[in-house]
Amino acid sequence: MPIATVNPATGETLKTFDALDADGIERRLAAADAAFRDYRTTSFAERARLLEHAADLLANDQQDIARTMTTEMGKPIGAARAEAAKCVKAMRWYAANAERLLADEHPPDADVRDAGAATARVHYRPLGPVLAVMPWNFPLWQVIRFAAPALMAGNVGLLKHASNVPQTALYLQDLFRRAGYPDGCFQTLLIGSGAVEGVLRDRRVAAATLTGSEPAGRSVAAIAGDEIKKTVLELGGSDPYVVMPSADLDRAAAVAVTARAQNNGQSCIAAKRFIVHTDVYDAFAERFTAGMAALTVGDPMDESTDVGPLASEQGRSGLEELVAEAVRAGATVLCGGRRPEGLDRGWFYAPTVLADITPDMRIHQEETFGPVAALHRVADLDEAVRLANDTYFGLSSNVWTRDDEDVRRFVRDLEAGGVFVNGMTASHPALPFGGVKRSGYGRELSGHGIKEFCNATTVWQAA
């Protein structure tokens, strides 16, 4: 895949970039290694100062970088501005909280004495250069939610971004340079996927984090495992959105539209399978379908647009195949199911709701990366749980109910990294984010995320 900016709203290639050659990669690895040796010894106060400065710069750049993201991957311009603002918030949160999150831990005195020590503590130290293999769908947020905690912990970053967002990738490198970070602390590697293995196997790279597809996660995990290097993986999702009889149906249906169509439907944590109790199925389906059909599809630079194009022609073709196969197998199209009229250029697809989904359909198991919702009817809570868990993925989940016993059961039984009750799945710097099963392992964000790339060092001292 070429490293290029291709506008998904028009299909036009706007700018191409040469991939780094072997010498270019070596120079960046050497710079990261040298930077880490000094940067790891800086104080939390100094790291916070640098990160706050980067946040200030990003806040000032919000409109420009939003336009870059929209041009490269097609998200509506308002959503792109919101993504930039969210990054600023996360950077400030880690600048303010990293020292507290990584403070030394002191076992109870009785345990210290039992260990035969006069004092004992757990001290958190950075690992080194961390390779981040990042996706195009949230091209700023996915990187910042790695970079902010990693840099505050004393690590340095090497970014291999998706090949269709090179200008966003280069902006990130320049952002940290302008903020005053020492040379080599955060570098973008313009390389293809074939060059990742060599970088990850390099002895100077301490660990890796990847957000992306299941095949990409398997590859990185296998290489890192062979090298015995730490990894964090955030992969796909097929998140359930369960609606029970006691739910506020108007609110549940309205939020469901946003939960499915956010980011043009191209989000790992977007709700994808809508599992509705039979007592409220018809009422919910009517409201939800009407909401999806009312979304405005069009130019993502237009402030009135709700849904822009898919990021690639290949992505739209794959989505069309999933829908067509489901329809041939008996699924019913309640709205959409086609390319929208009047948008002949670019890779647009109409918001779609499918009913009568059966377990033998690919769309029942595979992640739908676009504005397509699968609607399911269930008889009771037990069936809802079984269907929600009937997937290889386990990223997050949504539950709509005002019954406390329902909540208890879903929290206990849903196989997911998050359970969001009467609200839409979202990430926040104070809360851990990640999944189970084939959605990956490890956690980003919060204290859990900043400790992923730290060495928890036992410090034992005799009297």
List the beta strands (DSSP E) in 251-388. 271-277, 332-335, 352-355, 372-378
Plot region of 175 (φ>0 → left; ψ -120 to 50 → alpha; else → beta):
alpha
- Kindly state the tokens that stand for 116: 């035969």
Residue partners of 317: CB distance under 8 A and separation at least 6: none
- Kindly state the tokens that stand for 303: 């402030």
Distance CA 463, CA 461 (A): 7
Distance CA 319, CA 337 (A): 10
**Closest by Cα among 12, 80, 63, 141 to 264:** 80
CB-based contact 244:406 (threshold 8 Å): yes
The phi and psi torsions of 16 (rounded to 5 degrees) equal: -120, 155
Catalytic choice (87, 268, 335, 454): 268
- Kindly state the tokens that stand for 167: 């200008």
Q: If 0-12 CB within 10 Å is exposed, 13-18 middle and 19+ buried, where does residue 328 land?
A: exposed
CB-based contact 356:347 (threshold 8 Å): no
Q: Does residue 291 sit in helix, strand or coil?
A: helix
The amino acid occupying position 136 is W
- 156's enclosing H/E stretch is strand 156-160
Catalytic choice (72, 83, 234, 444): 234
**Residues constituting the chain:** 463
Q: Which residues pair with 328 in a beta bridge?
A: none
State the pairing for strand pair 332-335/372-378: unpaired
Sequence-ordered alpha helix ranges (H) in 350-437: 362-365, 381-389, 404-413
**Closest by Cα among 192, 340, 172, 198 to 264:** 340
CB-based contact 95:55 (threshold 8 Å): yes
Taking CA 69 as the corner, what is the angle to CA 371 and CA 150, rounded to the nearest 5 degrees? 100
**268 annotated active-site:** yes
Q: If 0-12 CB within 10 Å is exposed, 13-18 middle and 19+ buried, where does residue 23 land?
A: exposed
Catalytic residue numbers, as ranges: 234, 268
